[in-house]
Structure 1
Amino acid sequence: MARAFFLFIFIGTLLFSFRAESVSLSEYQVKAAFLYNFAKFVEWPAEALPEGQPFVIGILGQDPFGSLIDEAVAGKTVHDRPIAVKRYPKVEEVAGANILFISDSEGPNVSHILKRLDRAPILTVSDLGRFADEGGMVQLLVDQNRVRFAINVAAVEQAGLKPSSQLLKLARIVGNPT
């Protein structure tokens, strides 16, 4: 029942128009909600979710969310774990993240970042242009004033992650699933 409720909320988020100006707060409020919902609709291997540890949403580079991401996940759980938000200045410091949002400030380093995280069970997400086409897992896009997303299924599967069929139905698929 709870899963159906979150699916309803997730689909509702996609169907209703969210005005998303270039760097408006509302855009990043919506993107924060997407990160939370991705956690609900992706399955991680058991070794990526150690017993007693929180589910970690990480931000790599300059944080475009500010407190919005913290507010979006405050008091919430995913996969029976509390959610923690961590900020990482460098990819070398990323440890224990389950989802990693790669900010625009890391654009020049994205190839290095993706190579460093290759096959790690970390869902990489960014709003950088062509992110999913270039090997990232999930790209957040603003299209006709709505936040949408593309999924590189091959990259997700290579990391040992399993996106739900509901999530895939809502995404623009990039790359060839295995």
Structure 2
Amino acid sequence: MLVLCMIFSGSASLAQIGENRLKSVWMEKFSRFIEWPDTDTSEYFVIAILGNGEINHALEDLYSERTIKGRPVRIKVIENAHDLNGCNILFVNSDHDGKLDEIVRIVRSKPILTIGDTDGFAKRGLMINFFIEKNKIRFEFNVSAAKSSGLSVDFRLLEVAKIIKSS
């Protein structure tokens, strides 16, 4: 438990590590506490990025030659939530705020870990949403969204998250 708290404590300040790079690192850490259904037999672990944002470059740089869950990572920038085939993680940039309700409807029952960093995104149906508190990156977790996705979430992840209920 101590190790988990250290992983998610945000012990490095935002000044020490770039905010978007730190969020990108956390995505891999989240994957350690999530189990996808056995039906996912893709050669790649796919992180889809919906829209344009500052995090796009950090994700592309960090995961260009890495693996998650023993598979090479493929970053896929998309503009439409209907293009999510084979996606394991979906990051929704703030420029899709107006389309979030539609995005949540599309992914609701799919085994896709949904992540954002815009105020209110977890409450509106994404599973994980980053926020800043005392100059540290924290995250909130929507348990209802996770249950409807079919993903299995390790309780240790929930112990260090701010739990959010859908609106």
Specify if TM > 0.5. Answer: yes
SS at match of 1:100: strand
Q: How does 1:74-113 map to 2 (within 5 A)?
A: 74-113=64-103
Q: Tell me the residue number matched to 1:138.
A: 128
Please say if 1:41 is aligned against 2:50.
no
Q: Which amino acid aligns with 2:18?
A: S
Distance 2:35 2:19 in 1: 26
Please say if 1:19 is aligned against 2:19.
no
Please say if 1:72 is aligned against 2:67.
no
Could you tell me which runs of 5 or more consecutive residues in structure 1 were left unpaired when the two chains were aligned.
none
Label 1:12 to 1:116 Cα distance change in 2 as closer, same or farther (>3 A): closer
User: Any idea what the Cα deviations from partners look like across 1:57-112, whole Å, max 9, x if unmatched?
Assistant: 11001132243112322432222211111111111222211000000100011001
Could you tell me which runs of 5 or more consecutive residues in structure 2 were left unpaired when the two chains were aligned.
none
Give, in angstroms, the shift of residue 13 of structure 1. 5.1
Give, in angstroms, the shift of residue 150 of structure 1. 0.6
SS at match of 1:69: helix
Contact 1:36 1:72 in 2 (8 A): no
SS at match of 1:67: helix
Q: Which amino acid aligns with 1:102?
A: V
Distance 1:141 1:31 in 2: 10
